Structures are given as C-alpha cells and as structure tokens.
Structure 1
Amino acid sequence: MKMSNNSSHTVLRLNEITTNIYRFTFPPLIIFGLIGHILDIIIFTRPKLISNSCCNYCLASSCVSIIQIVLGQLVRMLKGGYHIPIPVLWWCRIRIFFLYSAYLTSTTFITLASADRYVSSCSQVKYRRWANVKVARRLIPIVLIISCLCQSHILALFVVHEDGEKECWAPRYSDYRLGYDIAFLIAHGVIFPILLGVFGFLTLYNIRRRRSDQQKGVTNLRLHRIRDFQRMTLVQTACTIIFTLPYAIHKLHRTITHSPWKTPERSAWERLIMSIVRLLWFFQDSGGFYIYSLSSVKFRHELLKCLYAHLPRRIQETQRAKTPLQISIGNNNDYKL
C-alpha cells in the first residue's frame, strides 16, 4: 500500500513538472520566436538582400516558421499547460497537416539556402547559374507543393486517440505509424543534417581553394568572412542535429514500445521526456533568428542598419553625438557567405 502511495505521488509530481514545462517555457518561446521571425522578414526584405537567392530561401523559411509556432507551440501550450484539448477530428488533421508540412518546407528551404551558398562558391559557371533569384522563386512554390503532397496522407489517415492525452496521430499498433515515424527520423534526423553539413563544408572548401589560388596576401576582412561562415555552418548543422534528433528518436521509441499495460509511472515519465524533447524541437523553430541570422556578421549589420534607420530622431542624435555607427556593407555576393 505504501509503495502504491509513493507511486501515485511520483505520477502526480511528474505530471505537474510536465504541465509546468508547457505552461512556463512555451510562452517566451512563442513570443521570442515570433519576434525573431518578424525581424528575419524585415532583414531579408531589405533592398540589399531581397535580390539575393540565398536570402529568398531564408525569407520563405521564416514565413513558414510562423505557421509552425502558431499551430505547433501555441496549441501544444494550451493542451499540455492548461489542459485545453480540441479533440475534433477535422481540426486535428488540418493542424497536424499544416504543422508537419510547414516543418518539412522550412527545413528544405534551409537546406536549399545551404546548397545555394555552395553553388555560388563554385568556380564553374554551370554551377553558379543555379544561385539565381529566378531559380529560387521558382523552387519555393515547388517545394511548398511537394511538401504538402508528402504530408497529404495525414488528412485521411490520422485519428484522435480516445485516452487521457487525446493524441492526434497515426493509428496505434499499425505499420503505417511505424513507417511514418521511421521516415521522419531518417529525413529530419539523418538526411537533412548530412546535407546541411556536406553543403556547408564544400562551400568552405571552395572558398579556401579560391583564396589559395589568388594572391598570397589575403586581407583580414576576407579571413574574417571565412571564419564567420565557418562558425555559421557549424552552428547550423549542430543545432539541427541537437534539436531534432531527440524528438524523432523518442517519438519512434514511443511507437515501438507502446503498450496498454504500461504502468502509470512509466507513462508519466514518457510524457515528461516527450515534453522536453518537444521543447528542443520547437526551440529550433523559434530560435532560427537568434541561432542562424545573428551568427552572421552581415545579417547583424543589416539589422542594425535597419533599426538605426527607424530609431526616433532624438535617439539617433544621441547616438551620433556619442559614437557614430559605421556599418560596412559588401557587395551582393558577400551575402552568400
């Protein structure tokens, strides 16, 4: 009897921690995520950047990520933090469809941006011609359509499970659910991180080779840009793996080990772990601006220039009286780095 009471207390405590994670960590995640993506949109629509193909992919990714935040984080906060589920089948299917379509689209755009930087660094003209705004603006709607088609099965096959969680997902104990979770793990936990890493380091290789082919005296500015891009590539690849892989693995683990005979304590532990890995997964959506854009000196300079242009006149005069803000903006091709 004592062990049963201890177990019940543990379950209540674990459920309380899970609820608090959704209730207290998701609101700042949503707020800062929306602010970050709005700033991204402002940056990438600047005249010096909107004509750049790589920035077009980043702009599209930021727009799509706003959908992820609203349909993913906001709804999950209401359900997990305040126990306000909406167990309506048609709504659940539409929400999950747009959420995972947006996630696939956003990840593909980031990968295309990495590929764009690579082809723009190639010495062969036949590769560099792919780094073109016209190509980017044709590929963006194509990616949107393909991503929606890839996730269209959700609209017909997902169900609302009649249990305490009211989970909307693929039917349990089905090969379809197992296959979908495996595909998600392979795509987002393996393929996309590998592509990001490969394109990033191939770009670095091309930049360094071009530098060695030119004169031996390389300017400090050029070396700084190479180090800047190297840091951005490493951060981008590492964050994609760290924030996505745990969620994909745990989701597959829950599918494989799901059983109606699980103890309440084990189920509570799994819900807690899911809330943590889900928080990491959503952090990638909300942290795009803070992780990727702010890791680039060029984008930081462009943001400062934009903010300075819209500051009230009194603040501008105060700043000008102290230290004039000097921002050096390179040519259009520099933004590919």
Structure 2
Amino acid sequence: MSNITEIDSFLTTINTIQTNFSRYGYLIIFILGNIGSLLNILVLTRPNYLRNSCSSYILASTLPNLLIINIVILFRILATFGFDLTSRSKPFCKFQWYISHSMTLLSRTYILLACIDRWAMTSTIVRRRAFARIKISMIMISLAGMIWSLVSVHVLIGQKIIEGQCVPGSKAYAIFFNVYNTVLVGIVTPALMTGFGLVTIRNVKQLQNRANHRAQIIHTIIINQENHPNAVNKKSYDYQLLFMVLVQIFVYIITTIPFVMYSVYAVVTVYWSKSSVRLAKENLAMSIAYVSVLANFCLTFYIYILTSATFRKDLKRLLLHNRFIDKLFGNCHNPQVGPRPITNGIT
C-alpha cells in the first residue's frame, strides 16, 4: 500500500513539473517571440536591408516564426490550462501539426538559404556570387514555401485523435515521422548549415589573405552586381549579416539536440511495454525537448541584437525617431526651434 502511495506521489510530482515547465516555458517563448519577431520586421524592412539578399531570407523566416508562435505555441499553452483544442477537434489536431511541421521546416530552410547566400557572397567565383542577389532570393523564398507546403501534407493524413490525444494514427506512421523528422531536422539541416558555415569562414579568410586583389574583390562582392547609391556602405551590413547567421546556426544546433535525442529514443522504444512511471518521465523529457526546439523560433531577434552593432543602431534609431515621438517632442529634437517666448498671456 505504501509503495502505491509513493508511486502516486511521484507521478503527481513529475506531472506537475512537466505541466509547469511546459506552461511557463511556452509563455516565455510566446511573449518574447512576438516582441522579437515584430521588432525584426521593423528593422529588416528598412531600405538598406531590403536590398540585401541575405536579410530577405531572414525577414522571410519571421513569418513562419510568427505562425509557430501564435498557433502552435498558443495551442500548447491552452493545453496546459486544460483547454486542449487539438484533442477535442480533429481539424484542429491536423491543422496544428501541419502548421508546426511545415513552418518549422520552412523557417529552418530560410536560415539555411541565408547561410548559402553568405557562402556565395564571399566566393571569388563570379558565377557563384550571382546567387547572392535579391532577385534570386525572391525566387528561392517562394519555391521553398511551395515545396514544404506540399511535402508536409502527409501530416494532415497521419495525425489522428486516439484516446483523447492528437497523435500519429499508427505506430508505423509514428516510426516514419520520427525517423523522417530526425534525419531532416537533426542531421541533414544542421550538417548543411555547418558545412556552408565552415566554407564561408574559409572564403572570408581567403579574401583577407589576398591582399593585392582584396579591394577589387570585396568591392565586387559589396555591390552585389547591383548599382545603387548605398553600395559603398553595404560591406558592414554584409559581414554583420554573415556573423548573425553563423551564430544563429550554432544556437539552432544546440537547441535541436534534446529534440533529436528524444526522437531517436521514441523510435527505439516504440514497441516497448512501459510503466506509468516511465511514461511520466518520457512526457517530461518530451516537454523539455519541444520547449527547447521551439525556443529557437523566439531567439532570432535577440541573437541579432547581441551580434550586430548595426542592427542595434538601426533598431535604436527606429524606436527613438518615429513619427509619434517626433510630434510629441519635436521642439526638443529640432535645434533650430528655440524656446517659446514669454508673452504674459498676450498672443
């Protein structure tokens, strides 16, 4: 009898920890993610960023991030308060998983494309540098959106409500989904990001070592094969964007590790007979893995703030010099306008 009581007490403790970790973890991601994504849009829609192919990929990744934050994470927050729409409605179940899967893949693809863009931008081969153009980025952004929207359709078919939970409809599909997701998210994408990141760093070192030709090569890279008035100032944006992307790749890999470990474990143990204690521990591990991987979608803005002085400067300029503040404190900011003379009430 005492053993049963101890087990029940342990299960209650584990479930409470799991619920609170998910609830407050998702709430933090929801708040910070929305603030960061909106500020990202505010900065990245400035003219100097809109003309840059790399920043267009980063800006494009903000849309799937917002959908993940305001649909997937919001649904999960509601579930921790006992209002789980995905377990009550089959359409909600399928829709939430479809958005979760397609948008996470799309967001990661845009960051991968940004990494490939920096690799092309730092190349000394003219044909390769042609990839780092705004026209190419617009085509790739649209193409990636269409591809992942179609590839992710299998989620609409495979996800079902079983015993009050929105889960894969069969163990065979659960194995397929976990293997496919692990390979794609945990192996292929990080490997490509790391590979292009390392080659980009090598390209930058080669450019720095070619002292005699560096000025001409960097000038060619900076203008990005497009003539515009701000071309001279693009070097700082190009190389700071490169550093921003490389740091984001590192953060992505770190936050994805718990999810990959859990997915591998889930595949290996799918046919095992498990006790209630083991299932409770697995649910806690799953919550940690999902919060960790979803946190990646709220961190982008904060990574950019920490890694780019230009990004911080542009954000500060936008926040301090918007129209509302100019109207409210216009006289204070305008040195040509002096204090209003005292007229003793006579106008």
Does the 8 Å contact 1:72/1:99 carry over to 2? yes
Supply the RMSD in Å over aligned alpha carbons. Answer: 2.8
Listed one character per residue, the Cα deviations across residues 83-134 of structure 1 (whole Å, up to 9, x for unaligned) are 2112211221122112211111000000000100110111121111111111
The aligned runs of 1:159-174 (5 Å cut-off) are 159-163=160-164, 166=165, 168-174=166-172
Q: Of 187, 191, 194, which residue of structure 2 is paired with 1:194?
A: 191
In structure 2, what is the equivalent of residue 94 of structure 1?
A: 95
Runs of 4+ in 1 over 3 A off after TM superposition: 215-218, 223-234, 258-261, 313-321
With the length of structure 1 as denominator, give the TM-score of the two structures. 0.84
Larger radius of gyration: 2
Aligned amino acid, residue 91 of structure 2: W
Q: Of 233, 241, 255, which residue of structure 2 is paired with 1:243?
A: 255
- 1:111 maps onto 2:112 in alignment: yes
Aligned amino acid, residue 44 of structure 2: F
Does the 8 Å contact 2:175/2:270 carry over to 1? no
How far apart, CA to CA, are the structure 1 residues paired with 2:268 and 2:282? 13
Structure 1: give runs of 5+ residues left out of the alignment: 322-337
How far apart, CA to CA, are the structure 1 residues paired with 2:182 and 2:74? 24
Flag the 1:230–1:93 CA change in 2: closer, same or farther, 3 A: closer
How far apart, CA to CA, are the structure 2 residues paired with 1:141 and 1:94? 21
In structure 1, what is the equivalent of residue 69 of structure 2?
A: 69
How far apart, CA to CA, are the structure 2 residues paired with 1:84 and 1:57? 36
The aligned runs of 1:89-238 (5 Å cut-off) are 89-163=90-164, 166=165, 168-174=166-172, 176-214=173-211, 232=244, 234-238=246-250
Aligned amino acid, residue 59 of structure 1: L
Structure 2: give runs of 5+ residues left out of the alignment: 216-234, 336-347
Listed one character per residue, the Cα deviations across residues 144-166 of structure 1 (whole Å, up to 9, x for unaligned) are 11001111111122211215xx1
Query: Which segment drifts farther, 119-128 or 303-312?
Result: 303-312
Does the 8 Å contact 2:14/2:280 carry over to 1? yes
Aligned amino acid, residue 36 of structure 2: G
Q: Following TM superposition, by how much is the alpha carbon of 1:229 offset from its aligned partner in structure 2, in angstroms? A: 6.8
Query: Which segment drifts farther, 247-256 or 209-218?
Result: 209-218
In structure 1, what is the equivalent of residue 14 of structure 2?
A: 14
Listed one character per residue, the Cα deviations across residues 244-270 of structure 1 (whole Å, up to 9, x for unaligned) are 121132134224323584221111111
How far apart, CA to CA, are the structure 2 residues paired with 1:7 and 1:195? 45
Flag the 1:9–1:57 CA change in 2: closer, same or farther, 3 A: same
How far apart, CA to CA, are the structure 2 residues paired with 1:317 and 1:270? 61
How far apart, CA to CA, are the structure 2 residues paired with 1:282 and 1:24? 13
Q: Following TM superposition, by how much is the alpha carbon of 1:300 offset from its aligned partner in structure 2, in angstroms? A: 2.0
Does the 8 Å contact 2:115/2:242 carry over to 1? no
Aligned amino acid, residue 239 of structure 1: V
In structure 2, what is the equivalent of residue 335 of structure 1?
A: none
Listed one character per residue, the Cα deviations across residues 14-53 of structure 1 (whole Å, up to 9, x for unaligned) are 1111111122232222011011011111111101111111
Does the 8 Å contact 2:111/2:245 carry over to 1? no
Listed one character per residue, the Cα deviations across residues 184-209 of structure 1 (whole Å, up to 9, x for unaligned) are 11111111112112222222211221
How far apart, CA to CA, are the structure 1 residues paired with 2:121 and 2:140? 16
Does the 8 Å contact 1:181/1:248 carry over to 2? no
How far apart, CA to CA, are the structure 1 residues paired with 2:15 and 2:102? 30
How far apart, CA to CA, are the structure 1 residues paired with 2:108 and 2:253? 12
Listed one character per residue, the Cα deviations across residues 214-268 of structure 1 (whole Å, up to 9, x for unaligned) are 25999xxxx9999967854553232111111211321342243235842211111
Q: Following TM superposition, by how much is the alpha carbon of 1:293 offset from its aligned partner in structure 2, in angstroms? A: 5.1
SS in 2 for 1:286: coil
How far apart, CA to CA, are the structure 2 residues paired with 1:193 and 1:318? 50
Flag the 1:320–1:147 CA change in 2: closer, same or farther, 3 A: same
In structure 2, what is the equivalent of residue 312 of structure 1?
A: 325
